[in-house]
Each structure stands twice: as structure tokens, then as C-alpha cells.
Amino acid sequence: MKVTENIWHEYQSRLAAFIRSRVAEDAVDDLLQDVFMKIHLRIDSLKDDTKLESWLYQITRNEITDFYRNKRTLEELPEWIEQPQPEEEENIRYELSACLEPMVKELPDKYRSAIQLSEMKNRTQQEVAELEGISLSGAKSRVQRGRALLKTMLNDCCQFALNHKNQVVSYDRKDSDCKFC
């Protein structure tokens, strides 16, 4: 019981946000309760504690899938349910990197150049300063402002669920007509 309680305290708000991004608000609490009931009943089946988070999200995805299957009358399942769920984190990084490229191209020249050098070509900020002919503090400023602009563009485009390490575990597009994704 204590293990489930610890998991509840650490993950319930993130799992609720994950569920909320995929179902109507009135179903969130019931689904979250079902998820934690399954977690409690199946916690002994988790063989590798380092995979706890992905295990929790897999149970949650399965519950959401079951919810739509049971609810479905003439409705089709949402597209994301029908797709196989490969290594989720790697898949998310790949998809988001595809969105980032056109966003970087939209940045003002001085920020775009700094971001491309530091983030895409793995140059140090000192190297960015030398290549751009600016001071180190100027390079740091450009990289920081470029990152802030990219973050704003991403948040305008998508809604993110983050884990306790502030890493993206899932995302949904806010607008299906987003010019970047």
C-alpha cells in the first residue's frame, strides 16, 4: 500500500494531465482512479524500477484505450490510439525535433545562427562567440534568447506533459493547422 501511495504523490498530477489531454474533463477522475487501481494490483509485476515511469504511462494509455473502446458507439478511435506505441520518449524527441527545424528557421538571424551553432552543431558558446565575432556574454545572450523564442513557439503550438526531471513525456498539438508540426 505504501508503494502505491508514494507513486500517487509523485505521479498523480502528471498522469491526470496526460489523461486530461486525451479525454473529456468529466472522465479524468474516474480514469485516474482506474489507473491507480491497476497500478496497485500490478506493482509486483514491475521487474525494473528504473522503468517505473514508462510503465505508469503505458498503463494509463491502455486505460484510455479501454475507455474509448467501451465508449465507442459509431465513433472512431482517436488516431493516436490506433498507432503502435514504440519507445515513447525516443519517438517524442524525434517528432519534436522535426517541429523544431522549421521553428529555428523562423528565428531572427542573430538568434538562428547562435542556436544552430550551439544546439545543432554542438559548438560551445565560446566557439559561437568567436564564429559570430561577438563577446562570450553576447553569445550566451543570443543562445538564451533564441531558446526562449523557441520555447514560446513550442508552447504556442503544443501542450506538454513533463516528468519530474522536466522532460517531455507526451504532447498534443493545440492546433492541427500548426505551420511547424
pLDDT in tens, 129-166: 999 999 999 999 999 999 999 989 888 888 877 766 67
Domain containing 106 equals: 88-173
What count of other Cβ atoms lies within 10 Å of the Cβ of residue 50? 8
On whether both 58 and 113 belong to a single domain, the answer is no
Question: The cell 550551439 sits on which residue?
Answer: 118
* CATH classification of the domain holding 92: 1.10.10.10
pLDDT (0 to 100) of residue 76? 54
Q: Are residues 78 and 112 in the same domain?
A: no
DSSP state of 78: P
Report whether pLDDT(80) > 60: no
What is the model's pLDDT at position 74?
39
Q: So what's the pLDDT on residue 89?
A: 62
Our count of domains for the chain comes to 2
19-43 residue pLDDT tens: 998 888 888 999 999 999 999 888 8
| For residue 7, pLDDT beyond 70 | yes
Q: Which pLDDT value is given to residue 137?
A: 96
CB 64 within 8 A of CB 22: yes
Sign for the CA dihedral angle at 109, 114, 116, 121 comes to: positive
Percent of the chain having pLDDT more than 90? 36
Instruction: Report, as an integer, the average pLDDT of 105-110.
Output: 94
Confidence of residue 104 (pLDDT cuts 50, 70, 90): very high
Query: Is 178 inside any structural domain?
Result: no
Q: pLDDT at position 73, please?
A: 47
Taking 60 as the threshold, does the pLDDT of residue 81 lie above it? no
Give the residue with greater pLDDT, 47 vs 164: 47
pLDDT of residue 100: 85
* Location of C-alpha cell 513557439: 153
CATH number at residue 36: 1.10.1740.10
Average pLDDT score over the chain:
83
CB 172 within 8 A of CB 23: no
